[in-house]
Amino acid sequence: MTAWREPPSLTSPEQPMSMHDLTVPVATPAIPWRERLGTMVPILVLAPSLVASFIYVFVFTLWTLYLSLSNSSLMPTYGFVGLDNYASLWANRRWNIAYTNLFLFSGFYIVGSMAIGLLLAILIDQRVRGESIWRTIFLYPLAVSFIVTGTVWSWLYNPVDGIQAFVRGLGWTDFSFALTANRNTAIYAVIITGIWQSSGFAMALFLAGLRSVDPDLVKAAQIDGASVSRIYRRVILPTIAPIFLAVAVIQIQFAIKTFDLVAALTRGGPGVSTTFPAIYVYDLMFQRGQIGEGAAAAMMMLAALAVVLVPYSLWIVWRRRAEGRNG
Amino acid sequence: MSTLTIRNLHKSYGAVEILAGINLEAQTGEFVALVGPSGCGKSTLLAMIAGLETVTSGEIWIGDRLVNSVQPKDRDIAMVFQSYALYPTMTVRENITFGMESRGVPKAAQAEAVKRVAALLQIEQLLKRKPGQLSGGQRQRVAMGRALVRDPKLFLFDEPLSNLDAKLRVDMRTEIKKLHHRVGKTTVYVTHDQVEAMTLASRIAVMNQGSVQQFDTPKQIYDRPTNMFVAGFMGSPAMNFIPARLTGSSSISVRAADGTDATLTVATPLPAGAPKDVVLGVRPEHIYRFTTDLKSRKPAVESMQAPVELVEPTGAETLAVLRLGALEITGRFEPDDAPIMGETIALGIDMSRACLFDPTTKALL
């Protein structure tokens, strides 16, 4: 700004604007410092968190990327080894199990929680009695932390004092329910628990979407002679399609980050059957002192997230532009 | 046979009575407008005709069928909504065919019907677009297309023009009228705009507080409103209500601005049981500048003095606010012959067009 010229309001507070003022050769009129401060307040307030986010997100991401290409073991060191860490990571059977588990879990978990969430939302949307009670009940699991969820469900799955013991106690002595005890089924125990935890969340988002649909649309479809299932299939659900995408994206990033749920529920076992990438990263970095390979595994998780989030962000931008065009 | 008959229809939500005994009928091909202020129950009545609201008591007949408990889809009706309610994810073509598709009409017949309606409404070039890409007027046309394609017994319109800007509203009003002439379907049209009701309808039902105040032709409603509510609601500027005293079987006196009483002769003698105090209802266009020439042309014109308080030129006509006793009345004048602010004019009131009301019952005498 023009530092050589005092703001007119300070030099001549009472003087009205005259023709002379208009002809002073100043390109931009000086803004009083109070106003300038006013415009800067948002920036000042946001600056610390912006700086922190920048450091913790971008700087540490780049640092991890570099570590993944280094020979770091117990402590970070900076000897460049190229893609060696990635090669040894992918040669490891446990990592392969972890990555497969990630896809298996993500697929079932997202589809399962969305399907159940949508079903619950549609049922609640039928103007049921005590709607807020149902909503609270279904949303409650989300308020419980993953650690608590995992611990409680590990008790339920436990053959000795969980559901199996309870049903056997009722008299069905042949009843068998021991998902977490078997290395082939343990992953499904994780999936079921994950679905229990987050279908309420999906329900809340879907319900908000269903409620935002213009009731006239439903009336018009009724007059058009469409059945209830047809109204949902052709009119209501297509209208809230963006919500499906939003729910899916949120669930996917939950799935990829899955750590505490598994840590509390199965601790990656039996054996290595429910190892997840996040657990493996933790193991490599902090238990086995292989920071380089751990960083490589972390980068692979970032890649998995990017595969989901980058197209989504691009789609959001594209859609906003398309909406802007159509008014 | 596509008549509509409504008998003693009631609707309540708990203790709140929305409709209190509606009687209404529409002949085949008739255009009936339901008009009234917001909250009068007109939209509820339409929703009940459509089957979107349940009937508390009373009967709704479409043709010779009692439809009280018939599903909306089986009533053979089509409806145009205020919000248009176009399916946002479908193209215009899909919007129009959705109803036929739901009813299992063969594809070839669907295409034929779309072609016919698109030509009728001139929306052929829009068929591939989505509702989000249409202007307000185009959406309105598509909504009508969706209703027209079905060839229903009954057409229902729920304030279809209220989301359009003023100019488009007038254009679409004309189009709806033309369309009704061409297809000749029995139509029930809800509006809060009395001009829409007057211009479109063959009969108007004026509603207030859940009951029909008057159900008659636009002319009759305008000229002989059955009560002060109808008189005040229909017409803009509204009818002037002037307190008056009965001085004979066919004469009343009105207090003028200067405190003197002017005696006016009523065109048709009043009934015997008429109260002493009455309300004289005069529409602004039946107020003139009094001349002997006018008196010779319209013998029923009565004269009195009135100062001009305010003049509002609108271009086509000039409205003047005149002082009469303690109240102000509005007169509608030719711009060339309009009074000037501050002058006192000899007012001519056409008593043959005036209405007299009972101030306690508010009914026409």
Neighbour order of strands in the sheet with B355-357:
B261-265, B251-255, B240-246, B277-282, B355-357
Select the residue of B47, B83, B146 nearest A214 (Cβ to Cβ).
B83
B365 in any annotated domain? no
Q: State the nearest Cα–Cα gap between A93 and chain B, in angstroms.
A: 47
Last residue of a domain, one of B168, B193, B228: B228
SS3 content of chain A, % helix, strand, coil (to 5): 75, 0, 25
* Structure confidence at residue A26 as a pLDDT band (50, 70, 90): low
- Looking at per-residue pLDDT, the higher value among B314 and B268 belongs to B314
A106 burial (CB, 10 Å; 0-12 / 13-18 / 19+) is: buried
Q: Would the pTM count as exceeding 0.95?
A: no
Last residue of a domain, one of B228, B257, B278: B228
Whether residues B126 and B152 fall in one domain? yes
Query: What number is the average pLDDT over the span B138-167?
Result: 88
Whether residues B68 and B174 fall in one domain? yes
Q: Is A245 on the interface with B (CB under 8 A)?
A: no
Whether residues B278 and B140 fall in one domain? no
The total domain count for chain B is 2
Q: Is B162 on the interface with A (CB under 8 A)?
A: no
Pairing, β B344-350 against β B16-26 = unpaired
* Structure confidence at residue A7 as a pLDDT band (50, 70, 90): very low
Question: Which residue in B has a C-alpha nearest to residue A230's C-alpha?
Answer: B102
Residue matched to tokens 């929305």: B18
Cis peptide preceding A238, ω within 30 of 0:
no
B234 in any annotated domain? no
Whether residues B220 and B306 fall in one domain? no
Q: Which of B43, B44, B52 to mutate to test the interface with A (most CBs of A within 10 A)?
A: B52
pLDDT of residue B311: 92
Spatial separation of the C-alpha atoms in residues A146 and A167, rounded to whole Å: 26
B81 in any annotated domain? yes
B127 in any annotated domain? yes
Cα distances from A182 to residues A115, A169, A177, B321, in angstroms, run: 27, 22, 10, 92
What would the pLDDT profile of A46-70 be if each residue is shown by its tens digit? 999 999 999 998 999 998 888 888 8
Residue matched to tokens 């008056």: B244
What would the pLDDT profile of B298-348 be if each residue is shown by its tens digit? 888 888 888 999 999 988 899 999 988 888 999 999 988 888 888 888 888
pLDDT of residue B188: 94
Whether residues B223 and B255 fall in one domain? no
Select the residue of A220, A225, A230 nearest B85 (Cβ to Cβ).
A220
Q: State the nearest Cα–Cα gap between B73 and chain A, in angstroms.
A: 4
Whether residues B144 and B75 fall in one domain? yes
A20 has pLDDT over 60: no
Query: What number is the average pLDDT over the span A317-321?
Result: 86
**β-bridge partners, B320:** B311, B331
Record: contact A219-B87, CB cut-off 8 A? no
B229 has pLDDT over 90: yes
What does residue B175 show for φ and ψ, rounded to 5 degrees? -65, -40
A18 has pLDDT over 80: no
Q: Which of A127, A218, A223, A228 to mutate to test the interface with B (most CBs of B within 10 A)?
A: A223
Whether residues B213 and B251 fall in one domain? no
Query: Per the structure block, which two tokens stand in for B146?
Result: 């969706």
pLDDT of residue A154: 85
What would the pLDDT profile of B71-83 be if each residue is shown by its tens digit? 888 888 999 999 8
DSSP string across B203-240: EEEEEETTEEEEEE-HHHHHHS-SBHHHHHHSSSSPPE
Whether residues B70 and B121 fall in one domain? yes
Question: Which residue in B has a C-alpha nearest to residue A219's C-alpha?
Answer: B52
B68 has pLDDT over 80: yes
Report the mean per-residue pLDDT for chain B: 89
Q: Is A176 on the interface with B (CB under 8 A)?
A: no
Q: Which residues fall within 8 angstroms of residue B177, CB to CB, at 6 or more apart?
A: B199, B200
Whether residues B196 and B54 fall in one domain? yes
- Residue B199: CATH number of its domain: 3.40.50.300
Spatial separation of the C-alpha atoms in residues A109 and B164, rounded to whole Å: 47
A227 contacts on B by Cβ (under 8 Å) = 102
Select the residue of B52, B78, B133 nearest A219 (Cβ to Cβ).
B52
Residue B303's domain spans which residues? 240-357
Residue B357 region by backbone torsions, left for phi larger than 0, else alpha for psi between -120 and 50, else beta:
beta
Domain boundaries, chain A: 8-68, 93-326
Question: Which residue in B has a C-alpha nearest to residue A227's C-alpha?
Answer: B102
**β-bridge partners, B208:** B211
Question: For the stretch A67-92, what's the b/e string if a residue is b when 16 or more beta carbons lie within 10 angstroms of its beta carbon?
Answer: bbbbebeeeeeeeeeeebbbeebeee
A326 contacts on B by Cβ (under 8 Å) = 132-133
* Structure confidence at residue A10 as a pLDDT band (50, 70, 90): very low
Whether residues B161 and B292 fall in one domain? no
Whether residues B21 and B138 fall in one domain? yes
B246 has pLDDT over 70: yes
- Looking at per-residue pLDDT, the higher value among A267 and B27 belongs to B27
Select the residue of B83, B88, B102 nearest A224 (Cβ to Cβ).
B102
A245 contacts on B by Cβ (under 8 Å) = none
Cα distances from B258 to residues A201, B119, B289, B304, B305, in angstroms, run: 76, 64, 18, 11, 8
* Structure confidence at residue B207 as a pLDDT band (50, 70, 90): very high
Question: Which residue in B has a C-alpha nearest to residue A225's C-alpha?
Answer: B73
Q: Is B105 on the interface with A (CB under 8 A)?
A: no
Select the residue of B51, B83, B99 nearest A224 (Cβ to Cβ).
B99
pLDDT of residue A19: 45
Q: Is B103 on the interface with A (CB under 8 A)?
A: yes
A12 has pLDDT over 50: no
Spatial separation of the C-alpha atoms in residues B260 and B332, rounded to whole Å: 24
B47 contacts on A by Cβ (under 8 Å) = 219
Spatial separation of the C-alpha atoms in residues B221 and B198, rounded to whole Å: 9
Measure the CA angle with vertex B214, ends B209 and B215; round to 5°. 120
A326 has pLDDT over 60: no
Whether residues B201 and B300 fall in one domain? no
Rg (CA), chain B: 25
Q: H helices of chain B, where?
A: 42-50, 92-102, 107-121, 136-148, 166-183, 194-200, 218-223, 228-233, 292-297
Record: contact A214-B85, CB cut-off 8 A? yes
DSSP A232: I
Q: Is A222 on the interface with B (CB under 8 A)?
A: yes
Question: Which residue in A has a C-alpha nearest to residue B131's C-alpha?
Answer: A326
* Structure confidence at residue A29 as a pLDDT band (50, 70, 90): low
Q: A221, A218, A200, A213: which is closest to A241 by C-alpha?
A: A213
Record: contact A217-B85, CB cut-off 8 A? yes
Last residue of a domain, one of B205, B228, B251: B228
Spatial separation of the C-alpha atoms in residues A308 and A246, rounded to whole Å: 11
Question: Which residue in B has a C-alpha nearest to residue A221's C-alpha?
Answer: B99
Record: contact B98-A214, CB cut-off 8 A? no
pLDDT of residue A1: 38
- Residue B252: CATH number of its domain: 2.40.50.140
- Looking at per-residue pLDDT, the higher value among A1 and B74 belongs to B74
* Structure confidence at residue B92 as a pLDDT band (50, 70, 90): very high
CATH number at A93-326: 1.10.3720.10
Spatial separation of the C-alpha atoms in residues B241 and B225, rounded to whole Å: 13
Tell me if residue B283 falls in helix, strand or coil.
coil
